[in-house]
């Protein structure tokens, strides 16, 4: 599954296309009237999910390859983008824009119920499940610049529990805060030793504050 581009730079047309692994049997699934991006196969059925720029905001769609039918994944206000299937093919995780930020949501395709996974004044996007479906990695600028966040391996059970509850364990932020606390504690310890040595006339040429 890929996006086929044709036409000049001023009149570029993007269509969803499907071909065999050796490049044979190319099929075009859309006509190119609207811009399409980020197609992803379902691991369990002959469906794909993708983002399409139509007349309004970008929307996430489901497309059945066998029947040619398509449907919008939720009628959300604002734009929805960066869709991916869960490993069992029963859920889609995506980004939804709300105001000036975007958060991660997951939709159960059977019940159509939606669960919010992140809630930050940042841009969280490009989510992806781990192969067992217990963890999620995504890109976010919550730390001031785009970085990848996911749960840490030694907290896997806790993270899986939080994901199942519709919450997301952000180990990247936890690790950063823990490192900051240790660094501050180390600076205080060295500073106290430095003042004590000066008070009692002790000198240590190699003693200094951590950078």
Following DSSP, what letter does each residue of 160-203 receive, concatenated?
HHHHHTT----HHHHHHHHHHHHHHHHHHHHHHHHHHHHHHT--
Helix (H, G, I), strand (E, B) or coil at 158: helix
Tell me the C-alpha to C-alpha distance, in Å, between residue 88 and each of 43, 54, 56, 126: 7, 29, 31, 19
> Which pLDDT tens digit goes with each residue over 20-37?
999 999 999 999 989 899
Residue predicted with more confidence, 78 or 160:
78
Cross-strand pairs, 61? 50, 72
My answer on whether 178 and 154 are in the same domain is no
The CATH number given to whatever domain includes residue 77 is 2.120.10.30
Instruction: Please tell me the predicted confidence (pLDDT) of residue 4.
Output: 94
What pLDDT, in 10s, does the model give residues 106-128? 999 999 999 999 988 889 999 99
Clarify whether residues 162 and 175 are in a common domain.
Answer: no
φ, ψ dihedrals at 187, nearest 5°:
-65, -40
Q: Is there a single domain that holds both residue 160 and residue 202?
A: no
Both 115 and 205 in one domain: the answer is: no
The range of the structural domain enclosing residue 203 comes to 170-211
Please give the pLDDT value at position 202: 53
Helices (H), the chain: 156-164, 171-200
Q: 134 and 55, same structural domain?
A: yes
Residue 92: is its pLDDT beyond 50? yes
Of residues 84, 47, 85, the one with CA closest to residue 66:
47
């Amino acid at each position: 599954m890929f996006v086929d581009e044709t036409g000049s730079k001023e009149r570029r047309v993007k269509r969803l296309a499907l071909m065999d692994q050796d490049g044979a049997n190319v099929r075009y699934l859309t006509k190119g009237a609207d811009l399409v991006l980020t197609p992803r196969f379902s691991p369990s059925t002959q469906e794909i999910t993708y983002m399409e720029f139509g007349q309004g905001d970008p929307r996430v769609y489901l497309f059945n390859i066998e029947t040619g039918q398509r449907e919008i994944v939720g009628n959300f206000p604002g734009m929805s983008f960066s869709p991916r299937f869960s490993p069992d093919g029963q859920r889609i995780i995506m980004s939804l824009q709300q105001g000036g930020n975007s958060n991660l949501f997951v939709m159960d395709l059977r019940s159509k119920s939606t669960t919010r996974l992140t809630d930050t004044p940042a841009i969280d996007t490009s989510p992806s499940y781990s192969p067992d479906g217990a963890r999620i990695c995504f890109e976010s600028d919550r730390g001031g610049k785009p970085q990848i966040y996911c749960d840490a391996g030694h907290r896997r059970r806790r993270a899986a529990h939080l994901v199942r509850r519709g919450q997301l364990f952000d180990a990247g932020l936890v690790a950063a805060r823990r490192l900051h606390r240790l660094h501050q504690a180390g600076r205080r310890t060295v500073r106290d030793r430095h003042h004590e040595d000066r008070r009692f006339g002790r000198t240590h040429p190699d003693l200094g504050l951590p950078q």
